[in-house]
Amino acid sequence: MKKGAFYIAFATLVFSTMEIALKFVSGQFDPIQMTFSRFFVGGLVLLPVALKKIKEKGVKIDKSSFLYFAMLGFFGIFLFGTFYQLSISRIQSSVVAVTFSSNPVFVTLLAYLILREPISKNQVAGLIFDIIGILIIINPFNTQLDALGIVFVLLATFFFSLYAVLGKRETKKYGGLVVTCFGFLIGAVEMMIVSALGNIPMVAELFTSIGLEKFANVPFLAGYTPANLPIMLYAYIGVTGLGFCAYFLSMEKTSAAETSLVFFFKPALAPVLALLILGEPIPFNMFIGIVLILAGSMVSIYPNLKKALKK
């Protein structure tokens, strides 16, 4: 249990600093370049542990599973990562962090629609709290908040949630860490391939003409300096690699309900860290929205958490 608590605390801390770290280098790197780089490096960090898990389970990755991982990588890395990085370049890191932490709303609804998983009264109540909290934070009448940035973070949250729901099938066979590792690696390779094609002048023109200019002329290694390299290594290895590793190890040592506390504490911790490190203010509407999202998360997970703590 002590190890489980450490993993939860570590994952919560690094996940809460992700948007802050990326905000420090916003504008210094191409968003697509940063996305495929951090998931590829993160996947490599997870790979030794993932291979160990595969050996322990005595399973092999067949063609069907590989293609499924490719689909997961497309939703959970290619689409999620692109919209997530674009949102950070347009709106406050604290808004991105809190809004993304509402992904249980999408997961619950998608699990019901795709997997036909039942929704409990607590989950419905939690969803209502979360939705109201998001609306208060976004504040549609606030013209100072970039509307496109909000659309991007909501799309990122949706695709990440879709990735999480669809990944449940393979998780039963391989485990969450293995699914995450190969989803990261294959999704990053998919982005690399598209980005590489976008460096061909004719293809770059085509991408630009159909609204995919973000994938045109993407640099692979440009922008790295002695000043920003530590931040990038922290984002790639510390957050994406070790953070997700700790997240899934906590599931093994505790329970899914207890591990979900990571996304319970992040909406509260991330804005505070953004205030202390970046000087981003916490407006009153954001404070109220955070309280509602925290309340919604607690209401949603309370029954399962109560059962887990009794064991």
The pTM (predicted TM-score) of the whole model is: 0.78
**16 with 246: CB under 8 angstroms?**
no
In 3D space, the residue among 10, 75, 57 whose CA is nearest the CA of residue 248 turns out to be 10
How much is the pLDDT for 290? 80
Q: What percent of the chain has pLDDT over 70?
A: 92
Q: What is the mean pLDDT of residues 75-84?
A: 86
Does residue 193 fall inside a structural domain? yes
305 pLDDT band, cuts 50/70/90, is low
Residue 128 lies in a domain: no
What 3-state DSSP class applies to 29?
strand
The answer to whether position 265 is within a domain reads no
Q: What pLDDT, in 10s, does the model give residues 11-33? A: 889 988 887 888 888 778 887 88
Most confident option among 141-155, 219-233, 281-295: 219-233
Residue 78 lies inside a defined structural domain of this protein: yes
pLDDT at 47 over 90: yes
Q: Residue 141: pLDDT above 70?
A: no
Q: How far is CA 291 from the centre of its chain?
A: 21
Predicted local distance difference test score (pLDDT) of residue 48:
92
Residue 91, domain member (yes or no):
yes
* Percent helix, percent strand, percent coil in the chain, to nearest 5: 80, 0, 20
> Is residue 263 pLDDT above 80, yes or no?
no
Write the pLDDT tens digit of every residue in 203-241. Answer: 888 888 876 777 788 887 888 889 889 999 998 898 888
Tally of domains in the chain: 1
Asked if residue 252 has pLDDT above 90, the reply is no
Tell me whether residue 157 is in a domain: yes
CA distance 173 to 59: 8
Nearest to 88 by CA among 38, 161, 140, 141: 38
Is the residue at 22 inside a domain?
Answer: yes
Domain that holds residue 67: 2-119+143-254
Is 126 within the bounds of a domain? no
Q: Are 102 and 156 in contact (CB under 8 A)?
A: no
pLDDT given at position 182: 92
